Chains A and B, each alone.
Chain A
Amino acid sequence: MLNPDSVGRTFTGADVVTVTQSEIDAFAGVLGENNVIVAPPTFSIRITLAQSQQLLSDPDVGLDWSRLVHGDQKFQIHRPIVAGDTLRCSSTIENYKVAAGNEIVTVRSDLHSGNELIVSTWSTLVVRS
């Protein structure tokens, strides 16, 4: 079970991720897009999925990532990601509830380049009982 003290805490990554053109090309290529400059709207999941999982795997948080199902997803894109962006991820458990024995956790992850907020994402994750 999630530690209730985790709700509202923000965990900020120590590392900065530098986005490469080849990563953007590979992601866009799967969707049938070539010669793109800006990343597709959902590209940031490539960064936030791994980073939020790492940030929220602290035993103090108490989130069981092995039984998670992705419930919903939202992106707010302040400006599109481009190659050369150096992004730092911070993740916050914004909401937590238990319904029918399942834990429902809303994780917000923000990607900043320096002080500029580039993308905010919200993932609702369901831990199946």
Chain B
Amino acid sequence: MIEVGSVIAQKVFWIDRDLLKAYANASGDQNPIHQDEVFAKSVGLPDVIAHGMLTMALVGKFITDWAGGSAPVKEFSGRFVKPVIVPAGAKVDLTVSGTITEVHGDDVRIDIMATSAGVKVLGMSKALVSFSQMSSL
């Protein structure tokens, strides 16, 4: 039953340097702060950080898993409040959960929470999923 206040079960994604490289290639975002530790530290970062858009892509995966595919997702937003820090050799968590905030017919609005190492990394994250569109695909 989809109703306001329902919680979407928490899911953990694991992020390591290999995933950053794979995402850089798949997205075309080759900014060295996401791959080169020396460069990242030279611009004042604590270490290599994940692409904000990788965080958002994984949160998107959380939503599409719940929605049964990408087709119903109509809106998706988020604010990059803190970086996901990815030390060499480490696998760091991206822990995602959601709450349903509005239901209007086939349209469902979701608020999403995302943390890494206990720190909120994505703020104001929301999605609109519309199940009415599914028949067209």
Complexed CA–CA distance, A80 and B57 (Å):
15
A68-90 near B? 1/0 per residue, CB < 8 Å: 01111111111110000000000
Selected interface stretch from B26-34, B96-104, B107-115: B26-34
Contact between A27 and B27 (Cβ–Cβ < 8 Å)?
A: yes
Total count of chain B residues near the partner, CB < 8 A: 34
Within 8 A of A (CB), among B103-137: 124, 127, 133, 136-137
Q: How far is the CB of B135 from chain A (nearest CB, A)?
A: 13
Q: Inside 8 A of B58's CB, which chain A residues have their CB?
A: 31
At the interface, yes or no: A117 with Cβ under 8 Å from chain B? Answer: no
Contact between A49 and B28 (Cβ–Cβ < 8 Å)?
A: yes
Selected interface stretch from A38-46, A55-63, A95-103, A106-114: A38-46
Residues of B near any A CB (own CB < 8 A):
19, 22-23, 25-29, 52-54, 56-58, 60-61, 63-64, 69-71, 73-80, 124, 127, 133, 136-137
Complexed CA–CA distance, A26 and B137 (Å):
21
Contact between A75 and B77 (Cβ–Cβ < 8 Å)?
A: yes
Residues of A near any B CB (own CB < 8 A):
23, 26-27, 29-33, 36-42, 45-46, 49-50, 69-80, 122
Q: Inside 8 A of A37's CB, which chain B residues have their CB?
A: 137
Contact among B19, B54, B60, B137 for A41, CB-based, below 8 A: B60
Contact between A49 and B29 (Cβ–Cβ < 8 Å)?
A: yes
